[in-house]
Structure formats: structure tokens, C-alpha cells
């Protein structure tokens, strides 16, 4: 059965790109345009993996991450933080995320990471 992935990003282009790429890899992809939307969708139905952009309007990725972690079973869902720039590298583990990835059109790294986390 296909795994469900929730992607939250304020950039529509990025959302579209990731949706195409990940659906091609065989995942079912849900989209959210900010942190708040992501938390609501996760509350509705917890996905198998969540990808959160850090900088987003309304609610940013870090806050969304904290809230998702407080949901029932939220502690166990793998969460990947991703961002356009790399200045948070040193801190990502303290945010209790499972991975931290710099956005790139090259999907290789992201796809490898997703596979790794879902097959745990």
C-alpha cells in the first residue's frame, strides 16, 4: 500500500514540483500552504511522513513540528525539515525532526532520505 506524505510549503511551485516528483516515485502526496494547514491535515489523518518548510506565513515549520509532535501518535511520525538556506543546520536535532534538507531541484537526496525513514 502506498505511503502517504504531507508536504507543507508556501511556494506553490515547490509544492507542485515535489508533488509530481514524489507521486512519480509512488507516494500519495497531500499538500499544505502553511504550518497551520499542515497541523490541521495531520490532525484529520496522520500521514506516514511529513515534510515541512521552515519559513512559512501564518505558522512556520518549527511551530508546526512542535504541534504535530503533541498529536496522538505524533511522536512517531517521521518529519523532514527543509529550507532554502542552510543556516539552521546545527540546530535541527533539537527541534526533534528526523532530518534536515536543503531545498534543491535535485530530488535524489530527498528521495533517499524518505525511503530511509519509511523503511525503518
Where do contacts with another protein occur on this chain (CB under 8 A)? 11, 13-14, 16-18, 20-21, 55, 84-87, 89-90, 102-107
- Residue number, 22 or 67, with CB nearest to another protein: 22
Task: Closer to another protein by CB, 77 or 101: give it.
Answer: 101
DSSP state of 32: E
Residues facing residue 50 across a β-bridge: 6, 79
Bridge partner residues of 6 (DSSP):
30, 50
Least separation in angstroms between residue 87's CB and another protein is 5
Nearest-10 Cα torsion for 19, 24, 75, 71: 50
Q: How far is the CB of 81 from another protein (least distance, A)?
A: 15
Query: In 3D, which of 29, 88, 84 has the Cα closest to residue 62?
Result: 88
Quote the least distance from Cβ 55 to another protein, whole Å.
7
Amino acid at each position: 500500500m502506498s505511503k502517504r506524505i504531507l508536504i507543507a510549503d508556501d511556494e506553490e511551485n515547490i509544492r507542485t514540483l515535489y508533488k509530481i516528483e514524489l507521486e512519480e516515485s509512488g507516494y500519495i502526496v497531500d499538500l499544505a500552504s502553511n504550518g497551520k494547514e499542515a497541523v490541521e491535515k495531520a490532525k484529520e489523518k496522520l500521514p506516514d511522513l511529513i515534510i515541512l518548510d521552515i519559513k512559512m506565513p501564518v505558522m512556520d515549520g518549527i511551530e508546526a513540528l512542535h504541534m504535530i509532535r503533541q498529536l496522538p501518535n505524533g511522536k512517531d511520525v517521521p518529519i523532514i525539515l527543509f529550507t532554502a538556506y542552510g543556516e539552521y543546520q546545527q540546530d535541527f536535532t533539537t527541534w526533534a525532526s528526523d532530518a534536515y534538507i536543503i531545498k534543491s531541484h535535485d530530488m535524489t537526496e530527498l528521495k533517499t532520505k524518505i525511503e530511509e525513514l519509511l523503511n525503518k
